[in-house]
Amino acid sequence: MKNVLFISAALEMSDSSAAIRNRKLVKALAQSFQVDSIEFSPRNAEKMCELPNISNIVLKMPFSFQNSSKKKGKSYGQLNKIKDRLKYYTKSIVPDSYAANYRHMVTSIDNNAPDKKYQIVIISSDPKGVHFLWFSSFVKKLINNGAKTYQYWGDPWAGDIASYNNTLTKVLEKRIYSKSKYIIFNSKGTFLEKSEGSPHKEKFLFLSRGLDCDVTSFPEEDSIKLEGKIRFIYAGDFHSRFRNLNPFCEAIKNSPHELAIVGNGDLKEDYHALDNISIKKRMPYKEVSQLVESGDVLLVLLNNIGNQIPGKIYDLASKNKPVMLLYENEKILDFIPFSSRFILVKNVESEIENVISKISNSNIIIDYKELKKENYQEKVLEIFDSGKS
């Protein structure tokens, strides 16, 4: 049995989208390989889950995450605004705190990593800074000892719609790409975009996020009757520059239906005052899961720019509930997996109102036929236990 070393900054000690994706991959790997993991974690992080069948070394980083919601009150001065702007532009070369603490990561991994031979080494983001470990002597030693190496990227660095990047970002990203044998992207659109004209395209691979459960026993389709008041659930961030929740709020505010929002973002007016819209900040994954179960229809906001597909498409697809995908950029629809599973709606107030009217007091057919073909374990083995390993 091959030994696999999985290095990340989001696994057992995080509930981020990247952590959920990483946990699904590690569980799949553990069915065929002996998996060890090294996880870099903020100093104040707590364990969010326990992964069986893996050995996980948690290395604490010398920082705690700041609560940005507390710092921008009336006393938030001009100097702090300048500092924020400088941090924004610095992200083109130092994408996050992990990259800024690169030397600490290298020292920690050199002093704590197991003295063991690995056939496969995987470094997985987000955060992106964990990929700076490709420059460490420890990882170089593993490569010299014959390990096959894989980078697994969530959001890309160059081209990330949520942060500033420029030509220098592209240069540094390409340098990181050169350090491993294969580069895996979790979004088909990003994989195709990065492959076009790239000198590294021969090593580029695509591996989507795994589903929440085994769907082989699902029926080919199911019927859900929506009667009376519909409870819509949106769990995720909603920054209007690339995920605009305002049209849905406008469409529902004068209706008899409810909308529960959990996440961070901006809305154009104070919807808190409305009885049928509730808005809460981010909460632990277990609490979000409970909220999702309380909903009648689940919402996903697709990015209005870029090619990245929200991971929650895979998380929600196996739920026995209607899932509505709100889109502005029609090109991104080309990259939606098992699209017949979802209700696709243009993110425009009038379009949303029309669809809500159609599904109210109606039978909704959930089509699982495409979804049932999804075999994540097979995809994982194809990449890591075939000619690619």
Measured CA to CA, the distance from residue 31 to residue 2 in angstroms comes to 11
What confidence score (pLDDT) does residue 217 get?
87
Q: Indicate whether 166 pLDDT > 60.
A: yes
pLDDT digits (tens, 9 = 90+) for 102-121: 899 999 998 888 889 999 99
Pair 278, 232: CB distance under 8 Å: no
pLDDT digits (tens, 9 = 90+) for 36-68: 999 999 988 888 888 988 999 999 998 876 544
pTM beyond 0.85: yes
What confidence score (pLDDT) does residue 74 get?
55
Render the burial of 16-36: b for 16+ CB within 10 Å, e for the rest. bbbbbbbbbbbbbbbeebbbb
Structure tokens given for 350? 């009038």
Which among 180, 125, 188 has a CA at the least distance from the CA of 157? 125
Whole-number mean pLDDT of the chain? 89
pLDDT digits (tens, 9 = 90+) for 194-214: 999 888 889 999 999 999 888
Distance, C-alpha 334 to centroid of its chain: 19
What confidence score (pLDDT) does residue 369 get?
94
Written as one string, the DSSP assignment of 99-147 is: HHTHHHHHHHHHHHS-----SEEEEE-SSGGGGGGGGSHHHHHHHHTT-
pLDDT digits (tens, 9 = 90+) for 237-291: 998 888 999 999 999 999 999 999 999 999 988 888 899 999 999 888 888 989 9
Pair 266, 240: CB distance under 8 Å: yes
Q: What does each C-alpha distance from 168 to 126, 175, 176, 211, 220 come to in angstroms? A: 20, 11, 13, 36, 49
What confidence score (pLDDT) does residue 72 get?
55
What confidence score (pLDDT) does residue 389 get?
46
Written as one string, the DSSP assignment of 138-193 is: HHHHHHHTT-EEEEEESS-STT-TTS---HHHHHHHHHHHTTSSEEEES-HHHHHH
What confidence score (pLDDT) does residue 75 get?
58
In the chain, the largest separation of any two C-alpha atoms, in whole Å, equals 65
Structure tokens given for 375? 């075999």
